[in-house]
Amino acid sequence: MVKVGVIGCGYWGPNLIRNFSNLKTCRVIACTDLLEERLNHMKQLYPGLRTTTNFREVVNDPEIDAVVIATPVSSHYGIAREALDAGKHVFVEKPLAQSLDEGRKLLELAQKKDRTLMVGHTFVFTAAVNKIKDVIWSGELGDIYYISSSRVNLGIFQDDINVVWDLAPHDISIMNYILNSRPASIAAMGQSYIRPGIEDVAFLLLKYPQSTLANIHVSWLNPNKIRSTTVVGSKKMLVYDDVSSLEKIRIYDKGVTVTPHYDTFGEFQLSYRYGDISIPRLDDAEPLKIECQHFVDCIEKGATPRSGGKHGFEVLLALDAANRSMRGRGAEVTIDYPASLGTV
Amino acid sequence: MVKVGVIGCGYWGPNLIRNFSNLKTCRVIACTDLLEERLNHMKQLYPGLRTTTNFREVVNDPEIDAVVIATPVSSHYGIAREALDAGKHVFVEKPLAQSLDEGRKLLELAQKKDRTLMVGHTFVFTAAVNKIKDVIWSGELGDIYYISSSRVNLGIFQDDINVVWDLAPHDISIMNYILNSRPASIAAMGQSYIRPGIEDVAFLLLKYPQSTLANIHVSWLNPNKIRSTTVVGSKKMLVYDDVSSLEKIRIYDKGVTVTPHYDTFGEFQLSYRYGDISIPRLDDAEPLKIECQHFVDCIEKGATPRSGGKHGFEVLLALDAANRSMRGRGAEVTIDYPASLGTV
Amino acid sequence: MVKVGVIGCGYWGPNLIRNFSNLKTCRVIACTDLLEERLNHMKQLYPGLRTTTNFREVVNDPEIDAVVIATPVSSHYGIAREALDAGKHVFVEKPLAQSLDEGRKLLELAQKKDRTLMVGHTFVFTAAVNKIKDVIWSGELGDIYYISSSRVNLGIFQDDINVVWDLAPHDISIMNYILNSRPASIAAMGQSYIRPGIEDVAFLLLKYPQSTLANIHVSWLNPNKIRSTTVVGSKKMLVYDDVSSLEKIRIYDKGVTVTPHYDTFGEFQLSYRYGDISIPRLDDAEPLKIECQHFVDCIEKGATPRSGGKHGFEVLLALDAANRSMRGRGAEVTIDYPASLGTV
Amino acid sequence: MVKVGVIGCGYWGPNLIRNFSNLKTCRVIACTDLLEERLNHMKQLYPGLRTTTNFREVVNDPEIDAVVIATPVSSHYGIAREALDAGKHVFVEKPLAQSLDEGRKLLELAQKKDRTLMVGHTFVFTAAVNKIKDVIWSGELGDIYYISSSRVNLGIFQDDINVVWDLAPHDISIMNYILNSRPASIAAMGQSYIRPGIEDVAFLLLKYPQSTLANIHVSWLNPNKIRSTTVVGSKKMLVYDDVSSLEKIRIYDKGVTVTPHYDTFGEFQLSYRYGDISIPRLDDAEPLKIECQHFVDCIEKGATPRSGGKHGFEVLLALDAANRSMRGRGAEVTIDYPASLGTV
């Protein structure tokens, strides 16, 4: 039985409390928020819950095994550091931290303290994303040529981060996960239309090993909500439409084949293949529930989370590279992965 | 009555002959092709038509006023130059020529000879593209922030040109036309998956004057045929879906407004507007028919064609810049427009 | 301040408690259910709520003004009758009762006791349905020729009622409301595939006054969830797609016009009109909230509810006619509306 | 080599001439039309073609083996009868004739003369309809519960036939073909909105053997073009959308299963199955070409055409029953199939 304390009961915290509360191997002991009103609301929903406006009472509570952080990103580092120092396991909402330096320190601290550190990259717990990973690694798609992703909508404009830091963490986390890889370089072009200095439209080009190219288009300025990812392989192609409720994934038995030359005068021969489309049925389970269960399981088994500190830090490295490329007028930025991250 | 000779009766030529033949103010006198078989087929369809395998017989025929060229791009320059030299008006399929140098010479020759030179950029004659231009210039969309275009499909891979030269001419021609402008710079990133050295997937970023940004995604490696252009304005947004047969244009009364500050402590205030969508009815006329009529009208009135040599050459300049940027790993390439093109 | 007691805290009751609790002019005093477990859950969510397993304690509570009934349909009549007898206003989930006789008695009792009786036909409180009514009565569509509705899905098969009683109440309530009318006759054809004697697929044809025809297709045996209603008028046409989240209503400026004859030899002349499509933005408010507020308002003002006992009874009359037609192999059944219902 | 003469060169005749001309085992010898202008046009396209305004010259031409009739339906009987009498094979556009009596006589005459009689029900030659038939007869869908079809659009209103005779022949031909059966009875309800006495909206209910029910909705008064057929089986379901160009058929691995009772107190148990969707790739061949080839093949082999006189006459029987049911206010009309048609 893992005993959990939750820091932050604003927009997302209650969803985490609800899901952790419903797990059989976990108990939510306490929660904290700066606003008494939010704490009263939580107490009404969960009468046995201890509440306090002082997060240190949770972080230092000897009964508590794990701390769940759902506060603004600027406070992630400070709270997570104190929790790890106090020997707690830590779940922190995405992104892991506000800077590379903060992220690296949290990762190192968790390793040193031998505690579980997990980041709330929820997409890697969805049925759709796991189906895509399975399909890719089964070899059904063949070699992965490129991935093209669009995540656009009207708003919601953020005050302090640009559209890349707001929306691209989803795509980068998904791509790193399904490819079981990480980009070697990023080139990014962005533009600020609504607020000077905060990009609201951006295009990213990520180069993964083995000649896999990935494109990400993020925008707060689009009339339609689009969340679409196309994976083009040498054998088949797959389209993931996260806006669709019932038909999220389509696998196209389509492709182009290069025919080997038979003689030196032979032309470059291509043959096109147009086959069936299949739409696999996906499980309906709530991804957040799976995510919470995964955190508790990792603590109990000492396992490395799917979206652990390393995964979260690698996303930070890509976001940081994208920002630097945008400042450099789109020049390609190579990402240096610290040796401590290992190779994929 | 404009008398026309057509060079090239392969894939596209017969469509041009059919449309020019149906015009009241035009007569197709002769056609030429290297293959007798194609000429016999044309003669069967149009018994009065003169045919020859020697294109110079058409180019130098004193009865002929205008020459229409539907041959492979490598021969555009040679044929068009001879036709202009012989004092003919010239219609040439897109792209105008294979290189900047060839394009420039044709443009200059047409000016010197005072002949009409027109390029077959058919999209600028469609009801949809003209509706978009009207909507933009009526001010209904407000300032144009950015345009995002995708033109992707599975194939058809070309032998001698990359996907940018194959598909992006459509988008560049459309954008230049609806904005009545031309890009100051282009950055482009492409990748070759199927044939070494011939890009089959590419992303372009075009910077137009007045902070209008445009993105073009072209690909021969996509399971779905997508031809979609989104125009984001300060007041409204428009989506043009050329694959849809009946609902090509949707105008969204949607946007985000920056509220003026009322005091120095005021936060940056945004308000979102979500209103109606309207789908205008478009005319059904065949764009190619309008294009052919336009060529004949321009000859008769001495008017400058909508897709004249200048328009076609500006498209070449953009394609050339895109290629150079791709060779330069995505570095932004500024386009120098010759003074003779004038300003827009 | 209207004080409410809720009978039934199963699937739908909690939604009603939540919405009535959030109203400023209403207070939920007590609730009842046969299961202690449900009552404990309600008490946890709303600590001040009185609970009891004996519904008569609520019905006879002198502090309570109005009783809200969310129990299985077989108990609607018994509970509602006792509540009206005790002088309470009554809100009952749809359908009003299990039989015409029960429905008529409740309607008469409410009139005699001068109490508000309202049925939970939620669709007449949606933004979409009210928009359709507005559009029809503005004259924009012209005369209404016919309405065609499909409400199909896979399941959920009911134990005791057929697909007509399960799904068609929505369509009949909507049609009566938007036309401000009621069908003069119904013909219905149904078939039982899964359970003998319980129709799971049915087609209804309703004849409204002024030659308006309506068709309803209901099914528990369809691979897709379809909830679509097409309204064809003499001037324009409208399609209501309730499955779409953002584009529920489309108005087509399309039609066919009969040209008057000019001479006795004239042919019957038709002209077709194909114009724009418009998709109006609809309000996002939760229909159930509006419904609950409407009940409270009607009590306070002594007004007749939009979905009052008369409306609910007229739906019962149509359902009963449909069942009789199905038993009679599709013969048209004329509906006799009691004089007490008045004319529309 | 089958030598063909074509009667009628209006809207559809030229398509038939083009397709018959392209067949290797067939030659179009002559054509006829009342208008000289149409004949001149045909002669220009096919210089070797003999033309005449007198159809009897074609019907009695000893060189001609088969007569193809693409004239208004009122003349089908007269021309086809003369052609059969002259010993020709006959292809006649759908419907076979204007009345049951005419249809029966043609069928009998063809049998007596031992000539091939075929009706132009093109849908049974499409890849989609044949795929559906294959899927049904492979058993993949299980028992066929019901088929629901919509064929609606705005117009085109016909002068002399109602919407049932205009559009429902397609659905009836398709259903009879894919089920390899024919309806035992039909009930139909129609309404005339635009022209008194000519139904422009109708709903048909067809009862096939083995409890298969089919519904057909036809309308000239709908804003959208819909051509959709849903086939619900005991194991899987299939949707055929003929408006879609690339995804005409979707097979849903969805269903509801009745669990056998284990004891007398057992409840009626249902289980729902929600599985994958598959979209088979269909062949692109032009159905009209296949249809023409089939006619020629049947002549050469003495085989019975897929859409032979019997098939066409069974469609007439259903249309006639639908008309009688509409005149009888929707009463079910049993169809008597002459013994000479055999059983299916």
Q: Assess contact for B173 and B123: CB atoms under 8 A.
A: yes
Residue A302 gets the label, from left (phi > 0), alpha (psi -120 to 50) or beta, of left
- Give SS3 for B133: helix
Computed over every residue of chain B, the mean pLDDT equals: 92
N residues, chain B: 344
User: What confidence tier does C268 reach under pLDDT thresholds 50, 70, 90?
Assistant: low
Mind listing the pLDDT tens digit for each residue in D122-150?
Answer: 999 999 999 999 999 999 999 999 999 99
Residue C114: pLDDT band by 50, 70, 90 thresholds? very high
How far, in Å, CA of C137 to CA of C128, rounded?
14
Rounded (5°) CA angle C246-C248-C254: 125
Contacts of D168 (CB under 8 A, 6+ apart): D151, D202, D204, D216, D218, D318, D319, D322
How are the residues of chain D apportioned to helix, strand and coil, as percentages rounded to the nearest 5? 35, 30, 35
Which of D131, D248, D279, D282 is most worth mutating to test chain A (most A CB atoms within 10 A of its CB)? D279
pLDDT tier at B274, thresholds 50, 70, 90: confident
CB C119 within 8 A of CB C94: yes
D147: burial class by Cβ within 10 Å (0-12, 13-18, 19+)?
buried
Neighbours of A89 (CB within 10 A): 25
Percent pLDDT > 90 in chain C is: 78
pLDDT in tens, A145-164: 999 999 999 978 777 789 99
Question: For residue A298, what pLDDT is reported?
Answer: 97
Q: What integer pLDDT is reported at residue B263 of this predicted model?
A: 46
Q: What is the pLDDT of residue B233?
A: 94
What local confidence, expressed as pLDDT, does residue A268 receive?
56
Other C-beta atoms closer than 10 Å to the C-beta of C197 total 6
Residue C111 pLDDT: 94
Which of A44, A222, A244, A279 to substitute to test the interface with C, most C CBs within 10 Å? A44
Tell me if chain D has a CB within 8 Å of the CB of A274: yes
Q: Is C333 helix (H, G, I), strand (E, B) or coil?
A: strand
> Residue A341's pLDDT is what?
83
pLDDT in tens, D261-276: 544 444 556 778 889 9
Whether C276 sits inside 8 A of B280 (CB atoms) is: yes
The DSSP H or E segment spanning C156 is none
Backbone angles phi, psi at B189, to 5 degrees: -125, 130
Question: Are β-strands C117-119 and C144-154 bridged in parallel, bridged antiparallel, or unpaired?
Answer: unpaired
CA-to-CA separations, C115 to C75, C88, D221, in angstroms, rounded: 20, 7, 45
- Say what the pLDDT of residue D209 is: 92
Q: Tell me the count of C-D CB pairs closer than 8 A.
A: 126
Count CA within 13 A, CB hemisphere, residue D117: 31
Predicted local distance difference test score (pLDDT) of residue C216 = 95
Place of tokens 């009961």: A9
- Is residue B260 very low, low, confident or very high in pLDDT (cuts 50, 70, 90)? low
B-contacting chains (≥3 CB pairs under 8 Å): A, C, D
Q: Give how far B277 is from chain A: nearest CA, Å.
A: 10
d(CA D205, CA D201): 14
Kindly list the residues from chain A whose CB atom is less than 8 angstroms away from the CB atom of residue D280: 276
Q: Given a cut of 60, is residue B261 above it in pLDDT?
A: no
Sheet of D66-69, strands arranged across:
D50-52, D26-32, D2-7, D66-69, D89-92, D117-119
Tokens 């499980």 found at: A283
- Please give the Cα distance from D308 to D312 (Å, whole number): 6
Q: Which range, of C128-137, C295-304, D194-203, averages the lowest pLDDT? A: D194-203
Contact A274, A255 (CB under 8 A): no
pLDDT digits (tens, 9 = 90+) for A255-288: 887 765 444 444 556 778 889 999 999 998 889 9
Residue B159 has pLDDT above 70, yes or no: yes
Q: Check D223 against C189: CB less than 8 A apart.
A: no
Q: Please answer yes or no on whether C278 and B275 come within 8 Å at the CB atom.
A: no
Residues 280-319 of C with CB under 8 A from D: none
Q: Is the pLDDT of residue B118 over 90?
A: yes
Substitution target in C218, C270, C274 with the highest count of D β-carbons within 10 Å is: C270
Give the closest residue to C194 by CA, choosing from D270, D214, D263, D238: D270
pLDDT value of position A61: 96
- Identify the three-state secondary structure at position D124: helix
| pLDDT for res C328 | 87
Alpha carbon distances (Å) from B98 to B70, B88, B105, B315: 14, 21, 12, 12
- Nearest chain A residue to B210 by CA: give it: A193
Q: Residue C51: in which H helix or E strand, if any?
A: strand C50-52
Chain B contact for D260, CB < 8 A?
Answer: no
Contact A278 D278 (CB under 8 A): yes
Of the CA atoms within 13 Å of residue A185, those in its CB half-sphere come to 11
ipTM of the complex: 0.86
Average pLDDT over residues D69-80: 94
Residues D202/D126, Cβ–Cβ less than 8 Å: no
What sign results for the dihedral spanned by CA atoms A103, A106, A110, A112? positive
Structural tokens at position C161:
């009622």
Neighbours of chain D (3+ CB pairs under 8 A): A, B, C
Residues of chain D with Cβ-Cβ distance to A278 below 8 Å are 276-279
Rg over alpha carbons for chain D, rounded to the nearest Å, is: 22
Q: Which residues of C touch A44 (CB under 8 A)?
A: 45, 47
Inspect the interface and report whether the beta carbons of D45 and B45 lie closer than 8 Å.
Answer: yes
Residue C269, burial from CB neighbour count under 10 angstroms (0-12, 13-18, 19+): exposed
Alpha carbon distance D258, C194 (integer Å) = 7
Asked if D47 is an interface residue toward chain B (Cβ–Cβ < 8 A), one would say yes
**Could you tell me the pTM of the whole model?**
0.90
Q: What's the mean pLDDT in D180-205?
A: 91
Distance from CA of A65 to the nearest CA of C (A): 27
The minimal CB distance from A274 to the residues D253, D277, D281 is found for D281
In this predicted structure, what is the pLDDT of residue D265?
44
What the block records as the tokens of D327 is: 């005149």
Distance between D44 CA and the closest CA of chain B, angstroms: 7
The single-letter code of the amino acid at D180 is N
Residue of B nearest to C273 (CA): B281
Strands (E), chain A: 2-7, 26-32, 50-52, 66-69, 89-92, 117-119, 144-154, 185-191, 201-208, 212-219, 221-233, 237-241, 249-259, 269-279, 333-334
Whole-number pLDDT of residue C274: 87
pLDDT at D344: 59
Concatenated DSSP letters for D150-192? EEEEE-PPPSSS-HHHHHHHHHHHHHHHHHT---SEEEEEEE-
- For the stretch A107-130, pLDDT in tens is 999 999 999 999 999 999 999 999
Q: Which two tokens stand for residue B292?
A: 């052919």
pLDDT at B268: 56
Residue range A208-216: mean pLDDT, rounded: 91
Q: At what angle do helices B163-179 and B309-327 cross, to 10 degrees?
A: 130
Instruction: Of B256, D242, B337, B244, give the one whose Cα is nearest residue A195.
Output: B256
- Helix (H/G/I), strand (E/B), else coil: D199: coil
Q: Given the structure tokens 């209804």, which residue do they identify?
A: C204
Structure tokens at B100: 């900047």
Q: What distance in Å separates the CA atoms of residue A128 and residue A228, rounded to the nearest whole number? A: 12
Look up residue A32 and give its DSSP letter.
E
DSSP 8-class letter at D110 = H
CB pairs under 8 A between B and D: 5
Tell me what the mean pLDDT of segment C92-96 comes to.
Answer: 93
| pLDDT number for residue D223 | 93
What does the pLDDT average to over A304-316?
96
* Chain C hits for D154, Cβ within 8 Å: 237, 254-256, 272, 274
Residues of A in contact with B237 (CB under 8 A): 222-223
**Nearest CA of chain B to the CA of D50: how many Å?**
16
**What mean pLDDT do residues A42-51 have?**
86
Q: Are A96 and A69 in contact (CB under 8 A)?
A: no
By C-alpha distance, the chain C residue nearest A41 is C45
User: In b/e form, how buried is each residue of C162-187, taking b as 16+ CB within 10 angstroms?
Assistant: bbbbbbbbbbbbbbbbbbebbbebbb
Q: Using one digit for the tens of pLDDT, what is the confidence trace for A318-340?
A: 999 999 999 988 888 999 999 88
Mean pLDDT, residues B41-54 taken together: 88
Backbone φ and ψ of C326, nearest 5°: -60, -40
- In the chain, the amino acid numbered B62 is P
Range with top average pLDDT, B268-282, C150-164, C230-244: C230-244
Among C5-19, C143-157, D115-129, D250-264, the minimum mean pLDDT is found in: D250-264
From edge to edge, which strands make up the β-sheet containing A117-119?
A: A50-52, A26-32, A2-7, A66-69, A89-92, A117-119
- Would you call D256 and C232 a contact, using CB atoms and an 8 Å cutoff? no
Mean pLDDT value across chain D: 92
Share of chain D above pLDDT 70, in %: 96
What is the spatial distance between Cα D230 and Cα D250, in angstroms, rounded to a whole number? 10
Q: How many Å apart are CA A190 and CA D260, to the nearest integer?
A: 62
Has residue B193 got a pLDDT over 90? no
- A258 in C contact zone (CB under 8 Å): no
Between CA D6 and CA D12, with CA D7 as vertex, the angle to 5 degrees is 85
Q: What is the DSSP letter of C125?
A: G
Among the partner residues A222, A232, A330, nearest to B232 by beta-carbon distance: A222
